[in-house]
Amino acid sequence: MSARSVHPHSSHWGVFEAEVEDGQVVSVHPYPYDAHPSPILANIPDSIRHPTRISQPMVRAGWLDYGAGPSTQRGKEPFVPVSWETATDLLAAELRRVIERHGPQAIYGGSYGWASAGRFHHAQSQVHRFLNGLGGYTYSVHSYSMGAAEVIFPHVFGNYWDMLVRATAWPTIVEHADLFVCFGGLPLKNTAVKPGGIGRHRVPDYLRQAREHGVKFVLFSPLRDDLPDFVQTEWQPLVPGTDVAVMLALAHTLITERLHDTAFLDRYCVGFERFERYVLGEDDGQPKTPEWAEQISEVPAEAIRTLARRMATHKTFITMSWSLQRTEFGEQAPWMGATLAAMLGQIGLPSGGFGFGYSSTSMVGSAPLRFKFPSLPQGKNGVRTFIPVARIADMLLHPGEAFDYDGQRLTYPDIRLVYWCGGNPFHHHQHLARLRRAFERPDTVVVHDPFWTAMARNADMVLPSTMTLERNDIGWNENDSTLAAMRQAVAPFAQARSDYEIFAALAAKLGFWDRFTEERNEMDWLRHMYDTWRTTASEHGVEVPTFEDFWEEGYLEQDWSDDHEVLFSAFRADPEHAPLATPSGRIELFSETIHSFGYADCPGHPTWLEPSEWTKGARAEQFPILLIANNPSTRLHSQLDIGATSQASKVQGREPIRLHPTDAATRGIAEGDVVRVFNDRGSCLAGAVLSKDVRPRVAQLSTGAWYDPLDPADVDALCVHGNPNVLTMDQGTSSLAQGCTGQHVLVEIERWNAPVPEITVSRPPPLEQRDGL
Ligand code: PGD
C-alpha cells in the first residue's frame, strides 16, 4: 500500500500543500482560503526530481587541473563531480587564499536573487552571514526590481520603503477613489507574487470591487492586458518609454487651465516654480503641451487634455508600475508621477494620491502587520566597498575605474572571487554576452543552486542546494496575514544540502562553526525565530500560539488590524510636526541636492529625456521594434522554467513572443512560427504569438527562459530558447541610481527558416567522472 501524506508549505507565489506519495511530490494544492491561487504552483511537482537538478558538488575541469585564475573556459568545459569533503576543502582553501592575498573586499557577495520564500533558508541572508563571519565582502545596494525608484524617492519623499509597506490600502482606495490612472497598468500576473509568501490573492477581488463601486480605469501601456478585461478600461497604447512626456502634458494642461492645487503645492512641496518654468517652456523654449506629447507618445492631444480635466475634478489615484523605471532615465517616471499627484493635491488622502508598485507585487496596498517576523541575523560586514546591484559587469570588467552614483564618485573594486547563492544573473542581468566576458575575469566563481542554471554552468564550483520542499522553514511577508509552516515534504535530491548546511560545513573548516551556527540546527533556528516574534507580540499584549501548535497547525492567520492605511496621511495632517525626511521636510519637486550633482542624465526636476532605445530614435532605423522584456506570467522570473505551467506556454519549445499582426505580416511571420529576434548585442529564437493587445511596432518577450546558447563555447551565440537579456542594454538608468534598464530594447524580428535547434538546457551539462575525488 502506498504511503500518502500532505505537507503545508509556501512559495513567493502562494501558500500551498504538497501531496506526497512514496517519497515523491505527486501534486500541490493551493491554500484552502486562497480564492485566486496562482497557476504557477503547477510548476513545482515536475521540478523536484527533474534531470536538471544538481546531484552532487561539481568543479569545472580546468579549475581543478590548473587552479584558480581568470578563464575564458567558464561555460565551455565539463564539470567533475566531487564529494562534499573535497568541495568543502577546495573552497575553504580558495576563500582563505583570496582573503590573505587580496583582502575580503576581493570577494563579491552581492549575490542578488529571490531564491525561496522561507525566512530562515533565505539565501542572501545565509551567504551574507557566512561571508561576514570571514571578515566581509563587497556588497551590492538596491534591486533589479526598482533600482531607480530606491534612489529617487528618498530625494523626493525622504524614503522609499514606506511607498511599499505603507502604501494606501486597497480597501481604502476602492471605497474612496473615482478614477484610477494606471501608468504601466495592474497586471494580475505580478500581483500574484509577494516575497516571502502570500496566503490569499486578493487583488482580483479589489479590482472587481472597485469596478462595482463605479471606479473608472485609464491604462497607459503598450500592452492592453496590463489591466484585466473585467475592469473595462480606457486603453491609451502609448509609445513605450514616453509616459513622462504624457505626464508633463497633463501637468501643462493643469497649469494653463489653473486646475492645479496651489494650496497643496505651497504647503507640502518645494520647487514647483522651477518645474513650472520647465513645463511652460520658459527655460528651453519648448512648452510641454499635449500636442508636443502627442508627437512623442502618439497619445492624442485631446485625450491628454480631457484626462487632465477629469483628474482635477475627480478623486484620482495615480498608480505606476515598477517597470517604468526599469529603463534608461528610469528615475524620471516615478518622480513625474509623484509631481503630477502633488499638483492634484490628493497625496495623503484616502481617495487619491500616488501609488508605486500596486502592479508589481501584492505587497503594495496590503496593510502592514504590527509585528515583524525576525530575519536571520547577518552580522557585520567589515568591508565598505559596494556597487549598485546592476553594475556587476562594469565592476568585473573595469576594476579601479571610477563611476558616479547618487552624488558620490566611487571606484570599482578588483574582484577575485564571486560567490552566488539564490539568484541567477544569467536571468536577471542585461547584455549576456558582455556578462559572460565579465565572468571571465575573476579567479573563482562559486554558485549554490538546486538547478543547472546558466549561472551554475558558467561557474567553477557548483554546490547543490536543496529545494524548499526538501527542508523546514517559515514563510512570512511584512504585508501578508498568513504565517506558513513550511514543513519538509521529501528527502533532499541526491546529495543536495541546504545552504545553511553548506555554509556550516565551510565555517567548520574555516574555524567559525560555533559563531556561524550559534550551535543551533535548522529546527532550533525556526523555534528561536518564532519564539522571538512571539515574545514581541506578547510584550504588546498579543498572544500567539506556541511554536509546537503553530507547526502542527501549519498556518497562522494574524490579526489584519489596519486596512485603512493612507500613505503620507500623517504628513498631510501636520507637515510641521511630521515632516518628510527630505532636506526641506517637504515633497521635493525640484531637488537642490540632485541639481547640485550636475548630472545631465538626471537634472534637478522631472524632465523628458529621449532614451536611446525607443522607436523614434536613430537606432530604430536599424532595429525598428521595441521589445518589452517584462516579468513572465508562467513562472517567477526564471524559477522552475522546466515546470508544467511554464512549459505549456512555449511555442515549439521556445518562449512565446507576442507581436502585432501587421508587424508579423510585413515580415512574413505566422502564428506559431519560430522567429529570430536580434540586434547588434545578440540574438535569440522565440515562438510567434500574434495579438492586437500589443500595439504596433512593439513586441513582448518575457524574461526567464533559461539561457541556452547554440554553441556554449561562443559567448555571442544565439540563445535557442528565448532569453531576452541577450539583447538588452547593460547601462545604468542614470548617474544617480545606476539601476537596471532591462525592460525596453530595440530589435528586429525575422522568420527562422532553418531547422529548429534542440533545447539542451533541460539536460545537465557534460560531466567528466574522475576517481578519488
Ligand atoms: P530568479 O529566477 O528568481 O531570478 O532575478 P533573480 O536572480 O532573483 O533566480 C533565483 C534563483 O535561485 C533560481 O535559479 C533558483 O533555482 C534559485 N534558488 C531557489 N531557492 C534556492 C535556495 O534555497 N538556495 C539557493 N542557493 N538557490 C535557490 C530577478 C530580477 O530579474 C528581478 S527581481 C527583476 S524585477 C528584473 N526584471 C527584469 C526585467 O524587467 N527585464 C529584464 N530584461 N531583466 C530583468 N531582470 C531582473
Give the Cβ contact number of residue 300 at 10 Å: 14
**CA–CA separation, 497 and 511 (whole Å):** 20
204 domain residue, yes or no? yes
Q: Are 47 and 449 in contact (CB under 8 A)?
A: no
- DSSP one-letter string for 28-78: EEE-TT-SS--GGGGGHHHHTT-TTB--S-EEEHHHHHH-SS--S-TTTSP
Asked if 112 is an active-site residue, the reply is yes
453 lines ligand 1 (CB under 6 A): yes
Whether 482 is in a domain gets the answer no
Choose one of 143, 321, 427, 701 to mutate for the ligand 1 pocket test, by most ligand atoms within 8 angstroms of C-beta: 427
* Of 375, 376, 382, the residue nearest 131 (C-alpha): 382
Q: Label residue 561 by pLDDT band (50, 70, 90).
A: low
- Active-site position among 13, 31, 108, 114: 114
Does the pLDDT of residue 737 top 90, yes or no?
A: yes
Q: Please indicate, yes or no, if residue 215 is contained in any of the structural domains.
A: yes
Q: Is the pLDDT of residue 563 over 90?
A: no
Residues 727, 593 share a domain? no
CB 106 within 8 A of CB 353: no
Q: What pLDDT, in 10s, does the model give residues 600-639?
A: 999 999 999 999 999 999 999 999 999 999 999 999 999 9
Query: What residues does 628 pair with on adjacent strands?
Result: 700, 744
Q: Is the pLDDT of residue 582 over 60?
A: yes
Residue 74's pLDDT is: 97
**The pLDDT value given to residue 562:** 59
109 lines ligand 1 (CB under 6 A): no
pLDDT at 3 over 90: no
- Residue, of 502 and 367, whose pLDDT is higher: 502
CATH number, domain with residue 651: 2.40.40.20
Beta strands in 222-301 (DSSP E): 233-236, 269-270
> Percent helix, strand, coil in the chain (nearest 5)?
35, 20, 50
Residue whose CB lies within 8 A of the most ligand 1 atoms, among 47, 116, 143, 144, for a mutation test: 144
Cell of 69: 585564475
Please give the number of the atom of ligand 1 that sits closest to the Cα of 450: 16
Domain that holds residue 280: 147-368+564-597
Q: Is residue 444 part of a domain?
A: no
Query: In this predicted structure, what is the pLDDT of residue 359?
Result: 85
| Any domain includes 293 | yes
User: Which residue type sits at 454?
Assistant: A
CB atoms within 10 A of CB 659: 26
User: Which residue type sits at 183?
Assistant: F
Q: Residue 345: give its domain's CATH number.
A: 3.40.228.10
Q: Is 703 in the pocket of ligand 1 (CB under 6 A)?
A: yes
- HEC-encoded secondary structure of 405-460: ECCEEEECCCCCEEEEECCCHHHHCCCHHHHHHHCCCCCEEEEEECECCHHHHCCC
| Same domain? 637 vs 723 | yes
- Ligand 1 within 6 A of 339 CB? no
Q: Is 458 in the pocket of ligand 1 (CB under 6 A)?
A: no
The whole-angstrom distance between residue 483's C-alpha and the CA centroid of its chain comes to: 23
Same domain, 272 and 362: yes
- Tell me, what's the pLDDT at 370? 80
**Whether 311 and 239 share a structural domain:** yes
Do residues 592 and 738 both lie within one domain?
no
Q: pLDDT by residue (tens digit) across 208-252?
A: 999 999 999 999 999 999 999 999 889 999 999 999 999 999 999
Ligand 1 atom closest to Cα of residue 630: 40
Burial class (CB in 10 A: 0-12, 13-18, 19+), 761: buried
**Which of 610, 652, 600 lies closest to 744 in space, CA to CA?**
610
> 707 and 572 in one domain?
no
CB of residue 431 inside a 6 A radius of ligand 1:
no
Task: Give the Å distance between the CA of 628 and the centre of ligand 1.
Answer: 18
Q: Are 83 and 773 in contact (CB under 8 A)?
A: yes
- C-alpha of residue 669 to centroid of ligand 1, in Å: 32
Q: From the CA of 67, how far away is ligand 1's center (Å)?
A: 29
| Same domain for 588 and 688 | no
Indicate the residue type of 147.
Answer: G
Question: 134-193: per-residue pLDDT in tens?
Answer: 999 999 999 999 999 999 999 999 999 989 999 999 999 999 999 999 999 999 998 899
- Residue 638 CA to ligand 1 center (angstroms) comes to 6
CB of residue 451 inside a 6 A radius of ligand 1: yes
Q: Are residues 209 and 266 in the same domain?
A: yes
Do 295 and 159 belong to one domain?
yes
**Paired strand residues for 356:** 320
Check 13, 63, 108, 112 and give the catalytic one.
112
pLDDT value for 232: 81
Measured by CA distance, the residue closest to atom 46 of ligand 1 is 428
Q: Give me the pLDDT at residue 558, please.
A: 82
Atom of ligand 1 nearest to the CA of 447: 26
- The total number of structural domains in the chain stands at 2
For residues 523 and 472, is the Cβ–Cβ distance under 8 A? yes
436 located within any domain: no
Please choose, from the candidates 657, 711, 647, 649, the residue with its C-alpha nearest in 3D space to the C-alpha of residue 685: 657
- Give yes or no for residue 541 having a pLDDT over 90: no
- Average of per-residue pLDDT across 311-340: 98
Cell, residue 632: 513572465
Q: Are strands 316-320 and 353-356 parallel, antiparallel or unpaired?
A: parallel
Residues 241 and 346 in one domain: yes
Residues 744 and 666 in one domain: yes
* Residue of 662, 433, 661, 483 lying closest to 118 (CA atoms): 483
Atom of ligand 1 nearest to the CA of 639: 2
The confidence band for 1, taking pLDDT boundaries of 50, 70 and 90, is low
Span 69-81, mean pLDDT? 97
Together in a domain, 238 and 356: yes
The predicted-structure confidence for 634-674, as pLDDT tens digits, reads as follows 999 999 999 999 999 999 999 999 999 999 999 999 999 99
Give the chain's mean pLDDT: 96
Q: Is residue 423 part of a domain?
A: no
Residue 268 annotated among the catalytic residues of the structure: no
Provide the β-strand partners of residue 9: 16
Whether the CB-CB separation of 465 and 496 falls below 8 Å is answered with yes
Task: Classify residue 278: in a domain, yes or no.
Answer: yes
> In the prediction, which pLDDT does 565 show?
87
Band of residue 439 on the pLDDT scale cut at 50, 70, 90: very high
